[in-house]
Structure 1
Amino acid sequence: MKTVSSPLAGAGARLLAALALASAFAAQAAPTFEDSIAQRAMACTACHGKEGRAAPDGFYPRLAGKPAGYLYNQLLNFRDGRRHYGLMTGMVDLLSDDYLLEIAQYFSSLDVPYPPPLPPAAPPDVLRRGQALVQQGDPARRIPACVQCHGQALTGVTPNIPGLLGLPRDYINAQLGAWKTRQRQSHAPDCMAQIADQLGTDEVAAVSSWLAAQPLPAVTHPAAALPAPLPVACGSAALPSRKQP
């Protein structure tokens, strides 16, 4: 007797074959998940740019190569309410000190190139005023020079002082303004808040315009130490002694 194939049976077989093929393709195409700090830190680079190089909008700063102690303290500040930005707080509010330190040490270890600075938009007299404040300060008002704390090359000092070069003008403006309004704070004594209070709006603009226009030196790494003690007392959270970078 001749067997007649059912159309439904044939369709079912074709469907099973298609599902098997799709499953095999998906298995081949699925990316390999690497359970590492580099993989987990990709949540940060969505805003801060590839490898933490900074975002092009001028408001998400560079993370790569900054001193680990500085990055760690800022993560603590966001988590513990001394620094206010809802997106950052939501990212770190449930993370432990150890995990925040691991993130900080990862980004600090990255050594990637800086982009060239943008041409200055401020007039020459504004840039000269900014340069004078950065390099000499204003002793009459007890405003220290930026280089006295952030290093002569302005690339920062390990473990807790960040560099000031390679930052967009708008970001520097925003941070000095945040210190003036106490939207950004540090551990007491909060030296940057004290300094920002002494600066007028025009001086903030002058400092940020000059800093943002400066090229990076050949060596961009933070200095190991300052040649003299800090001119003002500054507070920061201590790094866990067993995990200092």
Structure 2
Amino acid sequence: MPDTMAQRMQACTLCHGAQGRATSSGYFPRIAGKPVDYLYNQLLHFRDGRRQNEGMARLLDNLSEAYLRDIAAHFAGLDLPYPPPQPPAVSPEVLARGEALVRQGDAERGIPACMACHGSALTGLGRAIPGLLGLPRDYLIGQMGAWRTGLRRASQPDCMGEITRRMSAEEVSAAASWLAAQPLPANTRAAPATDQALPMACGSHAQQGSRP
């Protein structure tokens, strides 16, 4: 059998689905087609303990940064169809609150719109900022909750940690519910990076430009 990256990555597909495409339900996210620097950063965070997952830590513990870049490049290069979005299981009022946070944020409390960083199409921006569509509601709630409580951390300054700590649990649930219910556009790839400044300093974005 050929020794290819696809063959080596079979361990990843046990949780993340065939070719890393996942599904529209469950806790494990899609990794196929995510921005390459984002995937690389997350592999580093799991390996180095900034993200807590025993299974991921065991898989990555002895892998070099060069090989983590190869893994990130493999999954970032996959262009696969997405499943249909989850039907919303919350009230129209909750969805409206979630949409307002995603599109507009809350300037009085220093909460930027999700679109301000993740792109107007919410498919990501550049090589380091991921899309927010096509992810299960429970996964989105779990990750934002982990940032709020410090169980998930990123390179400093940790902008997502700051943002989620300014949100209530109900707001996190509303934003996740709206995002999970949205269809994806025809072009699901991250938009090209621009010179426009983000609304907050973000350490992981500052690392953009590393080459896998």
Scaled by the length of structure 1, the TM-score of the pair is: 0.83
CA shift in 2, pair 1:239/1:215, >3 Å: closer
**d(CA) in 2 for partners of 1:238 and 1:145?**
22
Pick one of 79, 101, 123 that aligns with 1:111. 79
Matching residue of 1:231:
199
Which residue in 1 is equivalent to 2:188? 220
Q: Show CA shifts across 1:62-82 (max 9, x none).
A: 000000000000000000010
**Aligned equivalents of 1:117, 1:239: Cα separation in 2:** 29
Letter in 1 for 2:107: P
Q: Which of structures 1 and 2 has the larger relative contact order (alpha carbons within 8 angstroms, sep 6+)? A: 2
C-alpha separation in 1, matches of 2:194 and 2:170:
29
Offset at 1:112? Answer: 0.2
Post-superposition Cα deviations, 1:108-160, rounded to whole Å, max 9, x if no partner, equal 00000000102111100000000000000000001000000000000001210
Give distance in 2, aligned partners of 1:112 and 1:120.
24
Q: CA deviation at 1:229?
A: 1.2
Deviation at 1:38, TM superposition (A): 1.1
Aligned equivalents of 1:112 and 1:43: distance in 2? 19
Number of aligned residue pairs: 211
Q: Rate the CA distance shift 1:194–1:221 in 2: closer, same or farther, 3 A.
A: same
Contact 1:151 1:226 in 2 (8 A): no
Q: Following TM superposition, where does structure 1 have runs of at least 4 consecutive aligned residues deviating by more than 2 angstroms?
A: 237-241
SS in 2 for 1:104: helix
Give yes or no for the alignment of 1:90 onto 2:61: no
Distance 1:133 1:240 in 2: 29
Give the Cα separation in 2 of the matches to 1:86 and 1:55: 22
The answer to whether structure 1 residue 39 and structure 2 residue 7 are counterparts is yes
Q: CA deviation at 1:57?
A: 4.8
Contact 1:151/1:223, CA 8 A, preserved across alignment? yes
Pair 1:239–1:206, CA change in 2 (3 A): closer
Alignment partner of 1:69 is 2:55: no
Do the aligned partners of 2:88 and 2:178 also contact (CA within 8 Å) in 1?
Answer: yes
Alignment equivalent of 1:176, drawn from 144, 151, 165: 144
What secondary structure does 1:144 align onto? coil
Task: Please give the alpha-carbon distance, in whole angstroms, between the structure 1 residues aligned to 2:192 and 2:181.
Answer: 25
CA 1:240–1:130 in structure 2 vs 1: closer, same or farther (change >3 Å)? closer
Separation in 1, partners of 2:123, 2:114: 11
CA contact (8 A) 1:168 1:212 kept: yes
Deviation by residue 1:55-104 (Cα, 9 ceiling, x = unmatched): 56521100000000000000000000100000000010110000000000
Query: How large is the RMSD of aligned CA atoms in angstroms?
Result: 1.4
Q: Secondary structure at the match of 2:83?
A: coil
